[in-house]
Amino acid sequence: MLEFRQVHKSYATPQGPLQVLDGIDLRLAAGESLALMGESGSGKSTLLHLAAGLDLPEAGEVSVAGQAISSLDEPARARLRRDTLGLVFQQFHLVPSLNVGDNLRLQARLARRCDPEWAAHLIERLGLSGMEKRYPEQLSGGQQQRLAIGRALAPRPALLLADEPTGNLDETSADEVLGLLLSLVSESGSALLMVTHSSQVAAPLDRCLRLTHGRLGPVDEREASHR
Amino acid sequence: MFTTLATLLSHYKRHPGQLAMLLLGLWVASALWSGVQAINASARDSYARAEALFTTGLDRLERRDGQPLTRDDYLRLRRAGLPISPLLEGTLEAPDGTRLTVIGIEPFTLPGDNAFATAGSLSSRPGDLTIFLTPPWQTRVAPDTLPALGVADRQAPGGEPRLVDGRPLPPLVLAPSLPPDTLVMDIAAAAMLLDSGETLSRLVTAPHALDEAPTGLVLSRAATLASPGQLTESFHLNLTAMALLALVVGLFIVQAALGLALEQRLAMLRTLRALGVSGRRLVGLLALELLLLGIIGALAGIVSGVWLARLLLPDVAATLGSLYGAGVTAELNLPWHYWVGGIAVTLGGLFLAGAGVLWRAARLSVLGLGQAQAWRAGFRRQLTFMTLAGALVALTGLVLWAWLAGQPPGEGLLAGFGLMAALLLASALWLPPLLAAFIAALERLARRRPLAQWALADLQLQLPRLSLAMMALLIALSANLGVSSMVGGFRLTFLDWLDQRLVADLYLRPPAEQFEEIETWLGERREVAERLPTRRIEATLYEVKRGGNTRDLALPTHLYGITPGDALMPSWPLLDTLAGRDAAWQAFGGGEAFINEQLAISEGLTPGDRLTLSAPRGQEQATVVAVYPDYGNTQGEVLFATAQLASRFGAPPGSIGIVLAAGADEAALGQALSQHFGLGSDSLVDQREVKRIATGIFERTFTITRALSALTLGVAALALLASLLAQARERRRQLAPLWALGIPRAQLVQVQLGQLGGAALVTGALAIPLGIVLALGLVAVINVAAFGWRLPLFLFPMEIALTLATAVAVALLATALPAITLWRTPPRALLAEEVNT
């Protein structure tokens, strides 16, 4: 489903180029879930953005569902995101002008894959019943993140990319949202790549890797003990 | 307090675009207003100086036969005990080509209460009068005439600049109260410079010092010589109205910027309130911020306004000169109150624009302060308020309209402008609720198209920020359409009217003493098919009889004589007749009168009214048999057959229109005329030249109107651009999630263009009926009151299409810059903006 082959990425800084990813190799099979851990600024989000085609690698290849991202132009990458991927951001990024129902169905409708029954099921499972006519700013943080998860899963994407999906939530809400996310991913059959700095959040996932100094490696023993 | 103010102002460090938008709004609003006020102030100064001069305000005596008065005439009348003074007037050319008016006076006999004695400082020092009266004499001149003479201010007193022909002027003495381009000197010195010999231009006397004109002379009362200030009042009122429109449009930008700046500082306001700054102090500091910004904007605006006025003043001066005969200096002359007034109007407008924002800020609760929802709920309330306020303003407009409908035609210029303002304001206030309702209706239709649905919902969300810019656009577009329809219609009517009036091929203005001889000579020439002599004289319209009622008027009136012949009668336009066109001309030839539209409207006269006019042998009566349009005139006029005017009113000869026979050689006739009678080249003018000059005057008259109208539209475009730029960064953050969800940037750019283009198209479509109603108001109310004539309403499909196209083009241009920025933003940067939210 997702493959990184010798991917390199750096950013220009006043102090010179900063190597963020240094020869990343990664494979994620269909239906598999993977947690990607690392310190702040370690390049986790950059890796996720490359997987989503939001950014391009300097060297190496990123493939999603068999398509090499670098070989696609911007509209094609946009189509790939629309049709194949689901994205959940730490900051929710809901569309403020659309109500809850329209926000949830937005990507599915853009991808022309809106399944009303699945959408209704998501709304119920996400605890958003009766709130469909509300606007995002009228929801709590936890409700907004649940809505963002629903929006990403509504088109039943082959791959869900989640960037610190519980980073902005309190502990109770975070547990609740994470449980829902994993349960719904399992129901939809999507593969999941989740970026997190919390070993507790990473624990329930199939695999867990740590990004350190631009390279991927296994998690240490203490982190593994949470699993 | 300083810390709080610095904290509030720190917002602009993060959002310099908003600061630029605020200052831009203040700057353009103030610049256009100050520019027009500078023009008005300079013109009024010129009028005041002209009115203080002895050429107005005194009764005039001229010879009835049109021949020049001589020194002997003056001496004879003076010996007979008449309190008269001689005046010689002519023109000389300055080295830079400026035509200077030379006025020669005789200070001993000049009526003593005229302004010359004080303004010209003759009596300020003993011996001044002797210096003025004796060689080498003196030239009194205003400082703003010195550049034309090539003299610097310091060298002026005592300087003896030369004319274009090399002759020196008498030593200069500065007299600031004189009108521009005017030289005043002793009559003997003027006679030498003008080579006028013994002839005089006219004799003057204190108003009403003479009961009647001496035999052989015509007495023109000062009252009939309307002052330039009176004549041009409506012209300046028109300019002021246009400038006010630009000021309002500019202030819309300011209000939009203030609203945005405050909305984005809601969280900051909440924090400051939480930290112990009182709401009252916060509002006070926001007002102080307004004051600081206002002073900067006003100063920049006034400086630019003066520059704009310098640019436009020569055209305005030429227009006022050719249209009203009013001399206006091309140099700016600004009194102190102009500067203070400019700052006061800008600050007043700023506080008016900011009052709503301050009021909303003061009313928001601390807990709800940071929520955009609270602000948006405020906008929904604002939409209701706008609908109600629009209804109230429309009602005021209706009251004004009802009042105007009950007034005689030509009355109520200010009420007319009030009606226009009410119409514009009501429409502008109704625009945002209308747009909101329109978008909501479209949203319901677009439920099956997610992107269209999002685009409409997003546009609805942008509306609070866009509405003021759209209101400005609506006002500017409709004013532009109204003005261009009025000017375009006027142009068509005017050119048509010129064709109808100017039927002769050549126009000859012979010296009065040769008039009869030349007319006879022309009558004998085979190449002349018809002669159309004219005459002109002033009289008093004593009374008007209608049915059994008599109305006393005592109105100074111009009488004009034309020759009703085969060439003139079929084409001369008539607006209304007593018993049909043929009967009107028949009665006209028999001694009855036509009146122009201005006189008919201003005095409420209609065909069938019987006029009693002053005449040398007592009084003459004539029945009005027709009303004719008279677009080249700003005053009332009674028309008679030339022969009637000569015999009954003793009018002096004027010009002769020459209708050429088929195939006649125009040039040969002109040559023969100058050989036979020694006429100068400027005595004979062909019809094309007259039309060219008249059309030139027309075009120049509306140059400034068109310029201001276009500038207002430019300001509205700036308002839209500024609104979009100020929120461009936030917009990109809102668009980033959509891009991340799989909508390509190109499509997002298209959606943005579609959103604004669509909103502008709706605004443009609303501007069309509004512009047409404005044009109707201009031709039916404002022009009638300002100029005295009514024009037919012309609609130009091209202008209407252009209005729509301009609306969309303005919106697309304004959207283009933010859209290009979005297009060129690297995806990673777009995402970074999103992530950094």
Is residue B166 predicted with pLDDT exceeding 80? yes
Closest CA to A53 of B824, B730, B744: B744
Greatest Cα pair distance in chain A: 53
A55–B828 CB contact, under 8 Å: yes
B742–A83 CB contact, under 8 Å: yes
Distances in whole angstroms, Cα of residue B304 to Cα of each of B28, B44, B640: 8, 21, 51
Residue that is written with structure tokens 């999002």 in the block: B454
Q: Is B625 exposed, middle or buried (0-12, 13-18, 19+ CB in 10 A)?
A: buried
- Nearest-Å Rg of the Cα atoms of chain B is 33
So what's the ipTM on this one?
0.71
Q: Which two tokens stand for residue B814?
A: 């304004």
Q: Contacts of residue B734 in chain A, CB cutoff 8 Å?
A: 95-96
Q: Given 3-state DSSP classes, what are the helix, strand and coil percentages for chain B, each rounded to the nearest 5?
A: 60, 15, 25
Q: Which pLDDT does position B779 carry in this prediction?
A: 82
Scanning B53-121, the segments in alpha helix (DSSP H) are: 71-79, 116-119
Beta strands in B56-157 (DSSP E): 59-63, 69-70, 84-93, 99-105, 139-141
Distances in whole angstroms, Cα of residue A98 to Cα of each of A78, A94, A104, B457, B833: 21, 8, 9, 6, 21
Residue that is written with structure tokens 């939001």 in the block: A54
A93–B827 CB contact, under 8 Å: no
- Which of residues B126 and B400 earns the better pLDDT score? B400
Q: Which residue of B has its CA nearest to A73?
A: B744
Is residue B618 predicted with pLDDT exceeding 70? yes
Calculate how close chain B gets to A197, using CA atoms only, in Å: 17
Q: What count of Cα atoms within 13 Å lies in the side-chain half-sphere of residue A19?
A: 12
Q: B138 near B190, Cβ under 8 Å?
A: no
Beta bridge partners of A218: A209
Task: Say how many Å lie between the first and final Cα of chain B, rounded.
Answer: 30
Instruction: Give me the residue from B451, B458, B460 closest to A110, CB to CB.
Output: B451
Instruction: Tell me the pLDDT band of B834, cut-offs 50, 70 and 90.
Output: very low
Calculate how close chain B gets to A161, using CA atoms only, in Å: 11
A82–B461 CB contact, under 8 Å: no
Over residues A101-121, the pLDDT tens digits come to 988 988 888 888 889 999 999
Closest CA to B763 of B809, B807, B802: B807
Low-confidence stretches of chain A (pLDDT < 70) are 220-227
Q: What count of Cα atoms within 13 Å lies in the side-chain half-sphere of residue B570?
A: 4
Distances in whole angstroms, Cα of residue A140 to Cα of each of A127, A132, A134: 12, 14, 11
Q: Which pLDDT does position B562 carry in this prediction?
A: 92
Please identify among residues 456-485 of chain B the ones whose CB lies closer than 8 Å to any CB of chain A: 457-458, 460-461
Q: Which residue of A has its CA nearest to B370?
A: A137
Q: Contacts of residue B743 in chain A, CB cutoff 8 Å?
A: 78, 82, 110
Calculate how close chain B gets to A179, using CA atoms only, in Å: 24
What's the rounded Cα separation, in Å, for the pair B733 and B242?
Answer: 39
- Dihedral sign, CA of B45, B49, B52, B56? negative
Residue B746 near chain A (CB below 8 Å) = yes
Closest CA to B650 of B214, B218, B221: B218
Cα B377 from chain centre: 43
For residues B368-389, give the mean pLDDT. 70
Q: Which pLDDT does position B390 carry in this prediction?
A: 94
What's the rounded Cα separation, in Å, for the pair B661 and B655?
Answer: 19
Closest CA to B446 of B435, B462, B458, B433: B458
Q: Which pLDDT does position B388 carry in this prediction?
A: 95
What's the rounded Cα separation, in Å, for the pair B221 and B638?
Answer: 18
Q: Is the peptide bond before B136 cis (omega within 30 degrees of 0)?
A: yes
Closest CA to B716 of B803, B807, B818: B807
B835–A81 CB contact, under 8 Å: no
What's the rounded Cα separation, in Å, for the pair B180 and B145?
Answer: 6
B746–A105 CB contact, under 8 Å: no
Is residue B660 predicted with pLDDT exceeding 60? yes
Q: Which two tokens stand for residue A97?
A: 């002008």
User: How many of the other CB atoms lie within 10 Å of CB of A217?
Assistant: 11
Q: Is B1 exposed, middle or buried (0-12, 13-18, 19+ CB in 10 A)?
A: exposed
Instruction: Tell me the pLDDT band of B279, cut-offs 50, 70 and 90.
Output: confident
B742–A96 CB contact, under 8 Å: no
Q: B79 near B208, Cβ under 8 Å?
A: no
Q: Contacts of residue A80 in chain B, CB cutoff 8 Å?
A: 742
- Dihedral sign, CA of B576, B577, B582, B587? negative
Q: Which amino acid is at B74?
A: Y
Beta bridge partners of B622: B611
Please enumerate residues of A whose Cβ is less than 8 A from a Cβ of B: 45, 49, 52, 54-55, 74-75, 78-83, 85, 87, 89, 91, 93-98, 102, 105-107, 109-111, 135, 137-138, 151
Q: Give the phi and the psi of residue B546 in degrees, each rounded to 5.
A: -130, 120
B744–A74 CB contact, under 8 Å: yes
Instruction: Tell me the pLDDT band of B234, cut-offs 50, 70 and 90.
Output: low
Q: B518 near B656, Cβ under 8 Å?
A: yes
A75–B372 CB contact, under 8 Å: no
Q: Contacts of residue B837 in chain A, CB cutoff 8 Å?
A: 91, 93
Q: Which amino acid is at B703?
A: T
Q: Which two tokens stand for residue A188?
A: 């939809």
Q: Which amino acid is at B403?
A: W
What's the rounded Cα separation, in Å, for the pair A217 and B361?
Answer: 54
Contacts of B667 (CB under 8 A, 6+ apart): none
A74–B740 CB contact, under 8 Å: no
What's the DSSP call for residue B162? B
- Which of residues B315 and B50 earns the better pLDDT score? B315
Considering A143-152, B118-127, B335-344, the range whose residues carry the highest mean pLDDT is A143-152
Is residue B833 predicted with pLDDT exceeding 60? no
Beta strands in B330-484 (DSSP E): none
Over residues B84-107, the pLDDT tens digits come to 889 888 888 888 877 788 888 888
Instruction: Tell me the pLDDT band of B122, cut-offs 50, 70 and 90.
Output: very low
Closest CA to B673 of B508, B503, B502: B508
Over residues B724-783, the pLDDT tens digits come to 776 676 777 778 778 888 888 888 888 888 888 888 889 989 999 999 998 888 888 887
Distances in whole angstroms, Cα of residue B456 to Cα of each of A129, B69, B327, B471: 25, 80, 57, 19
Q: Which pLDDT does position B837 carry in this prediction?
A: 35
Q: Which two tokens stand for residue B146?
A: 């010195």
Considering A81-90, B577-586, B710-719, B773-782, the range whose residues carry the highest mean pLDDT is B577-586
Over residues B38-87, the pLDDT tens digits come to 887 777 777 766 665 655 567 888 776 666 788 888 998 888 888 888 98
Q: B578 near B608, Cβ under 8 Å?
A: yes
Q: Which two tokens stand for residue B425?
A: 């304001």
Residue B738 near chain A (CB below 8 Å) = yes
User: How many of the other CB atoms lie within 10 Å of CB of B122?
Assistant: 20
Q: B787 near B713, Cβ under 8 Å?
A: no
Cα B763 from chain centre: 27
Q: Which residue of B has its CA nearest to A108?
A: B450
A74–B451 CB contact, under 8 Å: no
For residues B564-568, give the mean pLDDT. 87
Q: B142 near B186, Cβ under 8 Å?
A: no
Beta bridge partners of B532: B657
A66: left (phi over 0), alpha (psi -120 to 50) or beta: left
For residues B652-668, give the mean pLDDT. 86
Contacts of B612 (CB under 8 A, 6+ apart): B541, B542, B543, B544, B545, B619, B620, B621
B742–A110 CB contact, under 8 Å: yes
B372–A137 CB contact, under 8 Å: yes
Q: Which pLDDT does position B835 carry in this prediction?
A: 45
B458, B738, B741: best to mutate for the A interface, most A CBs within 10 A: B741
A75–B746 CB contact, under 8 Å: yes
Calculate how close chain B gets to A166, using CA atoms only, in Å: 15
